[in-house]
Amino acid sequence: MNAIVRVGAILMITAAAATPATAQSLFATRGLGVPVYPVDARAAALGGIGVGIIGFHTSVVNPAELAGLTRRGVSAALQPISTSVDVEGVEDGTSGTRFPLVTVLYPVSPRLVMSLGYGGYLDQTWGVITRSEQDLNGEPTEIIDQLRSTGGISQLRLSGAWSFSPTFALGAAVGLMAGNVDRVAVRTFGDSANVIQPFDQRVRWRYSAPIAVLGFRWDPVNRLRLGASAMIGTDLEASNDEEDLPDVEYGSPLELAAGASYRLTSLLMATAGATWSRVPSPPTTTVSDETVRVGGGLEYQGLRSGLRTYPVRVGVRWAQLPYRLPDESRPTEWGAALGLGFRIGDPMDPAAVADFSIERGARTGLESTTITDGVEEQLWRVTFSLSLFAR
């Protein structure tokens, strides 16, 4: 058992240099994974921040964004991702699908809107395979080591927004950051499989931490909207069922988000925003950096047919990724997106909303003495979200 634990530790350190790779992202092998942004396709096409956007959109970032809704509804987002990975000249392709956002919307009164929402936070789905050769019983034997991780950490929030006036609202949320991650380490022995049987270790980690959020939304002048929120949590606790593996306590999460949008004309809106975050810090040699993320975009609402509106959007974003090993360079990612919407009814109070965005981006970094050229991922990310409202 201890041998496979050591194998797993070695694979974690050298994961980015392994070949081939199978993962949603090789950058997820560091720390607790790569960030997942809990926003709908409209916000994804407008830079991905999801704060301070005029008009309807759903996210679990700023609870004050709920203010003004008049209909009960549900909203969900689906996000397929396809990446091509290059590590020291070795290339591979990966793909996966996740649900970054699911929320139920419920106006209690003209001033109070409640929501129960699920949103992504960190994704740890990845896998690596390494091949080596050793002498066993005097014969060269191929050794194949596999390390797979499946799961991640998400947020479950109960949110409320109170409208003090048509131009100002406050929001608050309480919730739980939780998730499961299954880790599997398997060693097989090439042509000697009939002599030496494969062995493995399987561990399930369970994560939990209470969180709280405060936010506001303010329209100080006509055509301008401002928004901001702060999320804080207690230390993230990780537990498992293995007797020889102790439970682990990570640091506490903290995120500050702010954004603004302005109607340049009656049909054209510009928006921009930024977040600063501190993710839970692993009590290991992994470095957990504070990160900054910025994004923005334009939305044109001139395409209409009766009560139907077809907004067209473009946006860009740039972000730092939080985890790396001590001798590695900081990883970053960027993306450029194009989006299209379909809305039935009043643009500010629609009966149904379908949004689509497609993004081209890349992640780079993790250069070190071991991985001199670092890791590069080119990605295509599609986000589709659907919101339905009761009449």
Q: What is the pLDDT of residues 191-238, one digit of tens each?
A: 654 556 667 778 888 999 999 999 999 999 999 999 999 999 999 999
- Give the whole-angstrom CA distance, residue 182 versus residue 251: 21
Q: Which domain holds residue 289?
A: 2-389
**Residue 1 binned pLDDT confidence (cut-offs 50, 70, 90):** very low
CB burial of 224-248 (b: ≥16 within 10 Å; e: otherwise) equals ebbbbbebebeebebeeeeeeeeee
With a CB cutoff of 8 Å and minimum separation 6, the contacts of 229 are 51, 61, 62, 63, 64, 171, 213, 214, 215, 216, 255, 256, 257, 258
Average pLDDT over residues 298-313: 87
| DSSP code per residue over 254-276 | EEEEEEEEEESSSSEEEEEEEEE
Among 79, 66, 76, residue whose Cα is nearest residue 162: 66
**Amino acid letter for position 195:** V
Which residue is it, tokens 């395409």? 303
Q: Is the pLDDT of residue 10 over 60?
A: no
Mean pLDDT, the chain, rounded, equals: 85
Alpha helices in the chain (DSSP H): 2-14, 41-45
- Give the whole-angstrom CA distance, residue 85 versus residue 94: 8
- Give the whole-angstrom CA distance, residue 258 versus residue 65: 12
The count of residues in the chain is 391
Number of compact structural domains in the chain? 1
**Amino acid letter for position 367:** E
The greatest distance separating any two alpha carbons of the chain, rounded to the nearest whole angstrom, comes to 81
What is the percent of the chain where pLDDT is above 90? 55
- Give the whole-angstrom CA distance, residue 98 versus residue 203: 22
pTM, two decimal places = 0.85
Q: For 112-131, what is each residue's pLDDT tens digit?
A: 999 999 999 999 888 777 77
Radius of gyration of the chain (CA): 23
CB atoms within 10 A of CB 266: 9
What is the percent of the chain where pLDDT is above 70? 88
CATH number for 248: 2.40.160.60
**Amino acid letter for position 164:** F
Average pLDDT over residues 92-98: 80
Average pLDDT over residues 169-175: 97
